[in-house]
């Protein structure tokens, strides 16, 4: 049976040689069994993307949320410690924290805004810790008037400055019940 145009009938048809690769040929209109469907021993074959199942979008883990740090002495943005009198002003206390403007590796997967927010908060808390250390070395009981300043040192480096006033507090006034 010859075709006038030199075409051969599809594999598996009379007059056609068997599939040269030795694989069974699927008739036109029928799809081979999709990947992930039961095959072989009746076990589903898993694979990349899990054919037929909805894809789940990978979400980066959120950065660690900044937490309240305790510094071992009152640190306030006000000019006095509430409920306490200032006995002596010891002087200004200052700290500088210089940081790369690049996101740390542990914050890169969290997203740019969240990563920078966490990094900047950490920088400010580190600057407060250094102010407290300086005040403690001066014999202070508290730091009042805490403020921050930030600036760019170079294109890749920035600084966070924390400053305030180290003070000694008067002994609390006891009120006795009569």
Is 160 in contact with 96 (CB distance < 8 Å)? yes
**What is the model's pTM?**
0.60
Full set of structural domains in the chain with CATH: 86-169 (3.30.110.70)
Q: What is the per-residue pLDDT across 27-70, written as a single tens digit (0 to 9) for each?
A: 565 555 555 555 555 555 555 555 555 666 766 666 667 778 88
Residue 131 φ then ψ, to 5°: -65, -45
Average pLDDT, the chain: 78
- For 102, the token pair is 């690049």
Helices (H), ranges, 138-176? none
Q: What is the per-residue pLDDT across 112-157, written as a single tens digit (0 to 9) for each?
A: 777 778 888 889 999 999 999 999 999 999 999 999 999 998 988 9
Q: Which residues contact 82 (CB under 8 A, 6 or more apart)?
A: 76
């Amino acid at each position: 049976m010859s075709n006038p145009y030199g075409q051969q009938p599809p594999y598996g048809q009379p007059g056609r040689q068997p599939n040269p690769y030795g694989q069974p040929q699927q008739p036109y209109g029928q799809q081979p069994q999709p990947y992930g469907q039961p095959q072989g021993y009746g076990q589903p074959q898993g694979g990349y993307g899990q054919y037929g199942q909805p894809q789940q979008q990978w979400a980066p883990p959120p950065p660690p949320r900044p937490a309240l740090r305790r510094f071992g002495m009152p640190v306030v943005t006000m000019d006095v410690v509430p409920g306490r009198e200032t006995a002596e002003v010891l002087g200004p206390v200052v700290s500088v924290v210089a940081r790369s403007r690049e996101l740390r590796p542990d914050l890169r997967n969290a997203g740019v805004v969240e990563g920078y927010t966490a990094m900047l908060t950490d920088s400010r808390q580190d600057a407060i810790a250094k102010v407290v250390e300086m005040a403690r070395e001066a014999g202070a009981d508290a730091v009042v008037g805490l403020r921050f300043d930030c600036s760019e040192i170079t294109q890749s480096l920035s600084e966070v400055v924390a400053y305030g006033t180290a003070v000694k507090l008067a002994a609390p006034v006891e009120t006795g019940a009569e």
